[in-house]
Amino acid sequence: MELTSLELDMLAGKHGEGVALAMKVQVGTGKAFYAKRMVPITRTHVAASAQEGDLYFVTKLLDLGARCVVSPTTNPSMDTGYVEEHLGPLTDEGRDRVQASNDAYRRIGATLTLSCTPELEKNVPAFGEVVAFSESSATPYVNSVLGARSNRESSISALCAAVTGRVPEYGLLLDENRKGEVLVEVEAKIEDDFDWSLLGYAYPQKYKGAEVPVFTGIEKRATPEGFVQFGAELATSGAVAMYHIAGITPEAPTVEAAFGGNAVKHRVTITDADLDRVREQFSGESGPIEYAMLGCPHLTIRQVGEVAALVDGKQLAVDTWILVSSLTLELAERMGFLGVIQRAGGHVVADTCMDIPGCWDAYYGRPGVTESQKCAFYCQVYGQRYAVRPLAQAVQAALAGEVVK
């Protein structure tokens, strides 16, 4: 890997030990992928997720004197004040970790947006822009839907990029690696947002390779929410950071253009049965539930409006948490959705993620409902038993206090 004299100085510690550590991670990663050089970035998105490993690394960088030169937006952590008021006291450990994480990211120079959908608001890259986005649901969106260029960054590598202002040039930053190699013939009917999340989870189950897939047979463009959920599940079930949808996404006006001269290395067919298998895998047990956790990734104002329409004038039977960005919360208030949902007994809360250890312990080991396979998958480690349903059905379950098959 050829580094400029500035980059060599950064690696050698002449710009501080924090910068040197960030460069060490990036150069090591670059070498693993045979990157030839580093290139500047103009946007980053990082974690700030108040998870232990993440806090460890940002604190280490800070203690070594690192500061961001490209201020990143951040993933959610938790509105501890709201959750403590409405759910009960958090563990000291959980509350302290959220505080420490927010403080650390503020000090290192991040912009505390605390939302996992930066690609929809506050940090939207342009076509061709080179960026470093962690948050595995955002990365496929910026590459595939927007045509910007980001590798699948970890919370760690994206923070390193924010500190150094550059990334190693490999993978999806290069034209040749953005072309399709896998032809995915979608025979299943893809009609609503939930179908997109099922498709996103199903594809990596049928093909585990990291090559860029080209989805064909889809006529109707996904909604922004559908694309967000599709990417979230592709990255949960597998490690897909870029896809094409022929005739829909910007680098795939045709199947031929999406492949860019590449041979079809592998063919995958996705049928209704494949989607049903995912639906069944995440259907959970029917019966009583104790909570509903919606918004992984964060729900948009359109989805909050749908929830409000469903609960208007009714009472939710279980704790219902609707996780959103601070902008969506503000809009929900302006639009009157917040009042409707609160009168039904539900909570719309900003800045918050369902996967913050030590903060949702009340629900550990308990049955609940969610609209997100990603949520159900990662919360397994806490013994949370989720039934996954399309958003409207999940809200119905929260009203009824039980899930039905």
Partner 1 sequence: MSEHEYACRPISEGIGEGEALLSTDALCFALCEPDTGCVIESGHCLDGRSVAGKVLVMPTGKGSSVVQADGLYRLIMKKTAPAAVVIQTPEPVLVSTIIAMEVPLVDEVDPAFYDDIEDGDRIAVDAVAGKIVVHRRNGPGEREAR
* 12 is an interface residue for partner 1 by CB under 8 A: no
For 388, the enclosing helix (H) or strand (E) is strand 385-388
Task: Select from 50-58, 181-189, 337-345, 364-372 the region that touches partner 1 (CB under 8 A).
Answer: 50-58
Is the peptide bond preceding residue 367 cis, with omega within 30 degrees of 0?
no
Whole-angstrom distance, CA of residue 191 vs CA of residue 195: 6
* 277 is an interface residue for partner 1 by CB under 8 A: no
List the structure tokens of 140: 């496929």
Please identify, using beta-carbon distances, which residue of 253 and 383 lies nearer to partner 1.
383
Please identify, using beta-carbon distances, which residue of 228 and 318 lies nearer to partner 1.
228
Binding partner 1 (rule: CB under 8 A), the pick from 6, 14, 31, 40 is 31
* 101 is an interface residue for partner 1 by CB under 8 A: no
* Cβ–Cβ under 8 Å, residues 147 and 178: no
* 134 is an interface residue for partner 1 by CB under 8 A: yes
* Cβ–Cβ under 8 Å, residues 323 and 87: no
Please identify, using beta-carbon distances, which residue of 25 and 258 lies nearer to partner 1.
25
Task: Select from 22-30, 103-111, 268-276, 283-291 the region that touches partner 1 (CB under 8 A).
Answer: 22-30
Quote the least distance from Cβ 44 to partner 1, whole Å.
12
* 380 is an interface residue for partner 1 by CB under 8 A: yes
**Amino acid (one-letter) located at 331:** L
Quote the least distance from Cβ 51 to partner 1, whole Å.
4
Instruction: List, in order, residues 6 or more apart from 6 with CB less than 8 Å away.
Output: none
Whole-angstrom distance, CA of residue 308 vs CA of residue 319: 15
What is the footprint of partner 1 within residues 347-376 (CB under 8 A)? 355, 374
Using CA atoms, how far residue 29 sits from 1, 33, 212, in Å, is: 11, 7, 20
Please identify, using beta-carbon distances, which residue of 119 and 355 lies nearer to partner 1.
355
Any idea which residue has 């699948």 for tokens? 152
Residue 311: helix, strand or coil by DSSP?
helix
Task: Select from 5-13, 177-185, 236-244, 285-293 the region that touches partner 1 (CB under 8 A).
Answer: 236-244
Quote the least distance from Cβ 5 to partner 1, whole Å.
23
* Cβ–Cβ under 8 Å, residues 118 and 78: no
For 200, the enclosing helix (H) or strand (E) is helix 193-206
* 171 is an interface residue for partner 1 by CB under 8 A: yes
Q: Which residues of 209-231 are buried (b: 16+ CB within 10 A; e: fewer)?
A: ebbbbbbbebeeebebbbbbbbb
Please identify, using beta-carbon distances, which residue of 48 and 394 lies nearer to partner 1.
48
List the structure tokens of 113: 């947006």
Angle between the N-to-C axes of helices 326-335 and 301-311, in degrees from 0 to 180, rounded to the nearest 10: 40
Quote the least distance from Cβ 239 to partner 1, whole Å.
5
* 136 is an interface residue for partner 1 by CB under 8 A: yes
What is the footprint of partner 1 within residues 146-165 (CB under 8 A)? 151-158, 160
What is the footprint of partner 1 within residues 201-220 (CB under 8 A)? 208, 210
Q: Which residues bind partner 1 (CB under 8 A)?
A: 24-26, 28-29, 31-33, 47, 49, 51-54, 56-57, 75, 134-137, 139, 151-158, 160, 171, 208, 210, 235-236, 238-239, 355, 374, 378, 380-381
